[in-house]
Each structure stands twice: as C-alpha cells, then as structure tokens.
Amino acid sequence: MSVKLYFVLLLGGVFVTSCSQVKNENMESSSTNPFAKGSQVNNANFTGTVWLNYLVETDTAHNVNIGSVTFEPAARTNWHYHKGGQILLVTAGKGLYQEKGKPIEIIHKGQVVKCPADIEHWHGATATDTMTHIAIGTNTDIGGAVWLRPVTDEEYHTR
C-alpha cells in the first residue's frame, strides 16, 4: 500500500470516528418527527406544555445550538430575542410566530422562519394544534437568548 493511500485511509478513519460521536439519548421518535421529544421544559420562559431535545449544544468550534422543540396546543415561548439570531425549521404541525410590532403569522410544517438578531419575537403552537420545530441559535459566540415577559392570552389570541 502506498504512503498516500495509507494516509487517506487513516484520515478517513479519523473522520468516521469523530463524526460517529453523536448524541444517542432519547432516540425514540414519532412518525411525524425523526427526533425524540426530549424532556418537558419546566421554567418561566414558556407557557403551557413544551418539550425540548437538545440536538447540538454550542461549543467554541461551532457557535450554534440546535434543539427540537415540541409545543402542545396553546403552548408558547415568552417574548425574547437572540443576540446572534435564530432559525426555526417547522417539522410538524401548525404554529404561530410574531415579531414585536407585526401581526401574528401562522407557520406550517416545511416552513423556515429567520428570526433576525436583536428582534423581539415569540413562537408556539396554535390553540388547537401541536407544533414542532428545530430551533437553531446562530452566532452564539455573540450571545444567546434574552428572555422577556410572557405573551399574554390577549396577545396570543389577537389575529
């Protein structure tokens, strides 16, 4: 075997080893979502029943965090913003998204929502539907989410 081929095979082995170190917790998924629901969120930044499965936590190499978030009907985040922005990939159901000063948008499975940096917004499920999205916190080296006040029922039901 030539030295070049051996080096390529060695590098390939290193690549496969490093990429195979994937988080394998809670691997049970549903027919509508390839990722498990994760753990129920129990903090003051959410209203209603919300589940979170961290898929990728930020580190110094990637500056991103990624989670699969499931909102049961009427569940939602508080108003918040992300210093580095956020991207939502809706993977199941129907939900709501609103930026401060703008009307509520209905979001559906297959939609991508770009939440600009430093813009207050909230997102969650409709009153009758469950909604799951992949939340990608971008540029986390700039800073993460800044949580604000809860979305009132009046704000939630205004359309």
pLDDT (0 to 100) of residue 8? 34
Residues 6 or more apart whose CB falls under 8 angstroms from that of 62 comprise 56
Residues 6 or more apart whose CB falls under 8 angstroms from that of 148 comprise 78, 79, 80, 81, 120
Amino acid in position 91: T
Amino acid in position 60: T
- pLDDT tens readout for residues 67-82: 999 999 999 999 999 9
What distance in Å separates the CA atoms of residue 73 and residue 95, rounded to the nearest whole number? 9
DSSP 79: S
**pLDDT higher than 90, residue 116:** yes
If pLDDT is split at 50, 70 and 90, which confidence band does 28 have?
A: low
**pLDDT higher than 60, residue 6:** no
pLDDT (0 to 100) of residue 21? 35
Is the pLDDT higher at 55 or at 31? 55
**pLDDT higher than 80, residue 29:** no
pTM over 0.85: no
Contact 39, 70 (CB under 8 A): no
Contact 76, 156 (CB under 8 A): yes
DSSP 157: H
What distance in Å separates the CA atoms of residue 30 and residue 120, rounded to the nearest whole number? 32
- CATH numbers and ranges of domains, the chain: 25-157 (2.60.120.10)
Bridge partners, 105 (sequence order): 97
If pLDDT is split at 50, 70 and 90, which confidence band does 34 have?
A: confident
